Amino acid sequence: MATAKANKSSSAGSASYGAKDIQVLEGLDPVRKRPGMYIGSTGLAGLHHLIWEVVDNAVDEAMAGFCTKVVITLQADGSCSVTDNGRGIPVDPYPSGPHKGKSALEVVLTVLHAGGKFGGDGYKVSGGLHGVGVSVVNALSKKLVAEVDRDGVRYRQEFVDGGTPKTKITKVGASPSKTATGTTITFVPDPTIFAAEGTEFVARTVTERLQTIAFLNRDLEVVFVDERADKKQKTTYQYKGGIIDFVKHLNASREALFNKVANYEASEADQTLDIALQWNTGYYEGIYGYANGISTVEGGMHVEGFKTALTSVLNKYARASGGLKEKDENLLGEDIREGLTAIVAVKLREPQFEGQTKAKLGNVSIRSFVQKETNAKLEEWLQENPTEANRIVKKAVSAAQARLAAKNARNAVRRKTALAGAGMPDKLKDCSSTDASETELFIVEGDSAGGTAVDARDPRTQAILPIRGKILNVERARMDKMLKNTEIQTLITAIGGGIGNDEFNSEKARYHKVVILADADVDGSHIRTLLLTFFYRQMKPMVEAGYIYIAQPPLFSTEIGKSKIYLKDEAAKEKFLRENPNHKKDFQRLKGLGEMDWQELRSTTMHADSRTLLQITVDEAALAEDIMSVLMGDDVESRKQFIQTNARDVRNLDF
């Protein structure tokens, strides 16, 4: 009877589901309804994505040969302006269809999938190939103003409340000169869309991306201006060496194996390549792919073709030069790529990106093109630079020897784990749940804080792992040395999933939240950085999956009556004082986790309903590599400069 009743109910439900239930979203409504589909999120990453969409249009003009300068201004009123001296968005009336009679400018700004990148002669190559760019910015803005210079005339049109035209396109005067052309887009992000984290742009996030754009577009002048109170600055990026300068920049905080940067370019039909590479004395590879200026963080066919040719060419040279003897096995790709920094930048007419995020390039033709040109031109470079070539071979041979030592060390760790019965470290206080999607591992500094955290946790879902002191800095150690470190062995065993980015499997990780819980002092900061370096270098899939977090214990406490109030940071303290101007009690600065009892630690830092966690993300691979090397490498001056420059922007941490 129960089954029959359920079926009847289901039938009735489907009978009531008809045409009246189908909702058609017009114009830009889909963007406002589901903004995450278009910009990834409505947090800070999505907010800055609005800038990238407008800047990408200007860069497309540069790649097409019509733009030499782009100016990005963060205005004092919270708006952002992007100005380029390209051809200017067309303003003539649209010729046909439902938009007939509207200016092309209005169509581009109010219709999804409208633009000059779907064929025709507008652009041979472009990065903004989904055609939703600037219209999405309009949809998610409280106000947007477009100004265009064409044919000696300046045109202007204003939009409000998510893309509604407030005015028609109008002529507002003459251009600065008869030959001046270009576009300025000024927009105010809609605070109702970005309510979670606000609409304040982060200067460092913007400048890092702009510097990369300048590297990838040789000679393009990219200017950043911040007009906001207490944040005023102006920075210009322009690189005559293009990606050669990019490689030098990435290796600046490392010790280069030699001074020269290998570089070669080639073109055929509708595709071109520009590749630059240089080795350093470090142990990690950094190959960064770009397609039409878009960072392909997951690589793709262009990177695949480069790696295949690189392995072939270096083995061939090593044999011919005597660096490898007849009895020696071939070098593996990972041996050759140890310490390599390379930029593989390609441009092509019809790029096939995998997914809206454009993280991977799928064009098969570019793989064979890059492979063929690398085989020929890199071999030629090695022959012409024997001193540098022999250093590369010697480093690769040394890496191969270390790889074998690391293999033995890994096996030793596995044997040790197997002999330990269940295999879990004695100091790990595990949780009872085995469902990784709900379990959390708190890595705690010291045994005493670990004991407090054990009392504060939810034993069903929260595990505690105390670590003693500072773990090994893996930025300066090969795998074989790293695996002999007791604390690192403990981390590997507790987390599961293996070790090394070539082996690690995040799906086998025992926890989907790994939370670093350290004191808010200098030592705590150092421990956090060492752990983040370890995760980024040896368990990168955990970072990419969003499994790594930093706990945010409150920095201050005070009292209201008999109640204790905790405040997250200086900003929270200032807000509290504005709301409670007559507050007379002192504020206690909380430096150590040991100052809290377990009830306080639970309520402020560990309980899911009342804590704040900072999720670690990787937005730009090359930038992340650079920051890791600066913070954990040997160049003290670079580290000092980075900290001084970015200290005021640490309200979010993306590396």
106-127 residue pLDDT tens? 988 998 866 554 344 555 555 5
For 359-370, the DSSP string reads -SB--HHHHHHH
The verdict on whether 521 is a catalytic residue reads yes
Compute CA distances 254 → 182, 281, 513, 600, whole Å.
40, 7, 32, 43
348-370 residue pLDDT tens? 988 888 865 567 899 999 999 99
Average pLDDT over residues 525-544: 88
Residue 101 zone, left/alpha/beta (φ > 0; ψ -120 to 50; rest) = left
Please identify which of the residues 29, 158, 458, 523 carries the catalytic annotation.
523
For 421-459, the DSSP string reads TT---TT-B--S---TTT-EEEEEESHHHHHHHHHHS-T
Number of residues that this document lists for the chain: 655
pLDDT of 655 > 80? The answer is no
pLDDT of res. 436? 94
CA-to-CA distance for 448 and 516, rounded, in angstroms?
16
Domain 29-237 matches domain 243-402 at the CATH topology level? no
pLDDT of 14 > 60? The answer is no
Check: pTM over 0.75? Answer yes or no: yes
Q: Are 72 and 210 in contact (CB under 8 A)?
A: yes
Please identify which of the residues 475, 519, 544, 626 carries the catalytic annotation.
519
Architecture of domain 420-553+600-649: 3-Layer(aba) Sandwich (3.40)
pLDDT of res. 649? 46
Average pLDDT over residues 159-179: 92
pLDDT of res. 40? 82
Domain 243-402 = CATH 3.30.230.10: yes
pLDDT of 23 > 50? The answer is no
**Radius of gyration from C-alpha coordinates of the chain:** 28
When pLDDT is cut at 50, 70 and 90, the band that residue 652 belongs to is very low
Q: Which residues contact 325 (CB under 8 A, 6 or more apart)?
A: none
Lowest mean pLDDT among 26-30, 242-246, 292-296: 26-30
Q: Which residue has the tokens 């204790």?
A: 564
53-91 residue pLDDT tens? 999 999 999 988 999 999 999 999 999 999 999 999 999
pLDDT of 614 > 70? The answer is yes
437-453 residue pLDDT tens? 999 999 998 777 788 89
DSSP state of 602: I
Using a pLDDT cut of 90, give the percent of the chain over it: 48
pLDDT of 390 > 60? The answer is yes
In the predicted model, what is the mean pLDDT of the chain? 85
Q: Which CATH number fits domain 29-237: 3.65.10.10, 3.40.50.12500, 3.40.640.10, 3.30.565.10?
A: 3.30.565.10
CA-to-CA distance for 459 and 433, rounded, in angstroms?
9
The verdict on whether 219 is a catalytic residue reads no
pLDDT of res. 193? 94
Please identify which of the residues 445, 475, 480, 626 carries the catalytic annotation.
445
Per-domain residue ranges for the chain?
Answer: 29-237, 243-402, 420-553+600-649, 556-589
Please identify which of the residues 354, 380, 384, 521 carries the catalytic annotation.
521
pLDDT of res. 324? 93
